[in-house]
Structure 1
Amino acid sequence: MLRHASTSRPFSRSLRSSEPHMQAASNLGVFLDAADYIDSDHPDVQRFAMNAAAGAASVPDRLSRLYLAVRDGIRYNPYVDFHSLEIFRASSVLRAGHGYCVGKAALFAAACRVIGVPSRVGFADVRNHLATPRLIELMKTNLFAWHGYAECLVEGNWIKASPTFNMTLCSKLGVAPLEFDGVHDALMQAFDSQNARFMEYVAQHGCYFDVPAKFLRAEMARLYPHLAGIESPLGTSLEDDANAA
């Protein structure tokens, strides 16, 4: 598999090559196997994937349906408990019905493996120019480290997909929902409906066959001490934030 570390930067740290999820694979089998956090062998995940892909006539169509099921069926919520490793586990995110970008990417990757499509998770630092005031207050920055997305292998090409923001949230933020056709990359939108800057990719951290959950937990606590351990402050969600803006 790809063993990639980002250029050294003072904000976010790179993973060590000794981390288990960074071990090289001699074939694609590792991207089809169930893993600790991309737990594609979980019955709930398998049922979710098979139901979402039912009736699709082609691999791209199956992937597009899985993507929509994760994007809109799992509400985006950055106010999760970063002390808990379960926020990174596909089956736990599915059970909760909400999650942040990494958990949603893990669920999409797991669903891809269920239908026989090799998949992995990738990470990048992104700058969110339309983050809500409450989220900025908690994070003390609009630079989001280790944003998670997924990649799936289609006809020999790794295709990127970001099933992060659900349709109702996009509507409230004034940005078109990100579509995925199972053929072309679907990265976070650069501009909103008013052509204002929305999401900006700052640094890439590579792709891995499983979520480096313990590393991410430590990084979130180091980078965002005001956010780590706070779950839905004052009972809000990002959609509640958008409504109040």
Structure 2
Amino acid sequence: MENTYLQSSFYLDYDNPVIQDVVENFRYLNTEQEKIEQLYLFVRDNWRYNAYNIGLTANHFKASTIAKKKDGHCVDKSILYITCLRALNIPARLRLAKVSNHIAIEKLIEKLGSNEIAPHGLTEVFYNGNWVKCSPAFNKELCDKFQVDVLDFNGSEDSVFQEFNNKDQKFMTYLEDYGSFEDVPLDFIKKTFQDNYPKLYEEFKNQSNISI
């Protein structure tokens, strides 16, 4: 079963030299857990989270494309982490959900028409016989800005967005779970985006890359 989640694909293109460069320094860590933990921190903090870096093309969701950018959406960063894990022979897959953000939502509502993000991307890692969830989306600087405890991950237990920030303000609510995916489900992502942001979808669907 785990071998299914070690495969490369058009999207999870870990044979690409760009991805090989990303993972090169992690190959020499002693344990699988160290690789999971250190690679997570690298993806979390070296690509700034940007909720408005939105694309609906196949190329947008290629890991090698994402790796060349300076920032990424939660789905993008999860794809990059999954691809790098598979490059290190660690099974990983994409999980999608719908979340509601409650902090600094003015711009989000202005751009998307809603404080809900769909789909929201997470990573699931198979380690010690279990699938464990994590979100490498929010870089440390962003967490500090919104007074949210930064998420770490070592593969042993789930590490997902907190319901409240450290000021006891409502932060994030998980609304729907769309399940797990072996590869990037582009058609599902596009349909979910269309269902949740119909006006924006119609406005940009004929462009090669959505940018707002």
Secondary structure (helix, strand or coil) at the match of 2:167 reads coil
| C-alpha separation in 2, matches of 1:173 and 1:227 | 27
| Residues 87, 99 of structure 1: 8 Å contact kept | no
| Residues 36, 210 of structure 1: 8 Å contact kept | no
More moved, 124-133 vs 150-159: 124-133
**Paired residue for 1:134?**
107
In structure 2, give the amino acid aligned to 1:179.
D
| C-alpha separation in 2, matches of 1:226 and 1:174 | 32
CA shift for structure 1 position 63: 0.5
CA shift for structure 1 position 50: 2.5
CA shift for structure 1 position 222: 3.7
| Residues 82, 217 of structure 1: 8 Å contact kept | no
| C-alpha separation in 2, matches of 1:50 and 1:197 | 39
1:30 paired to 2:4: yes
Given the superposition, is the C-alpha separation of residues 54 and 31 from structure 1 closer, same or farther in structure 2, using an over 3 Å criterion?
A: closer
RMSD of aligned residue pairs (Cα, Å): 1.7
Q: Give the one of 44, 50, 68 matched to 1:71.
A: 44
| C-alpha separation in 2, matches of 1:196 and 1:206 | 28
TM-score using structure 2 length: 0.89
**Paired residue for 1:40?**
14
Alignment of 1:204-219 (within 5 A): 204-219=177-192
| C-alpha separation in 1, matches of 2:95 and 2:23 | 20
CA shift for structure 1 position 186: 0.8
TM-score using structure 1 length: 0.78
Given the superposition, is the C-alpha separation of residues 156 and 142 from structure 1 closer, same or farther in structure 2, using an over 3 Å criterion?
A: same
More moved, 99-108 vs 218-227: 218-227
**Paired residue for 1:121?**
94
CA shift for structure 1 position 91: 1.1
CA shift for structure 1 position 77: 0.9
**Paired residue for 2:77?**
104
Cα deviation, 1:168-188, whole Å, max 9, x if unaligned, reads 111111212111122211111
**Identical aligned residues as a percent:** 35
More moved, 119-128 vs 73-82: 73-82
In structure 2, give the amino acid aligned to 1:87.
H
**Paired residue for 2:123?**
150
Show structure 1 runs of 5+ residues with no match. 1-26, 234-245
Show structure 2 runs of 5+ residues with no match. 205-209
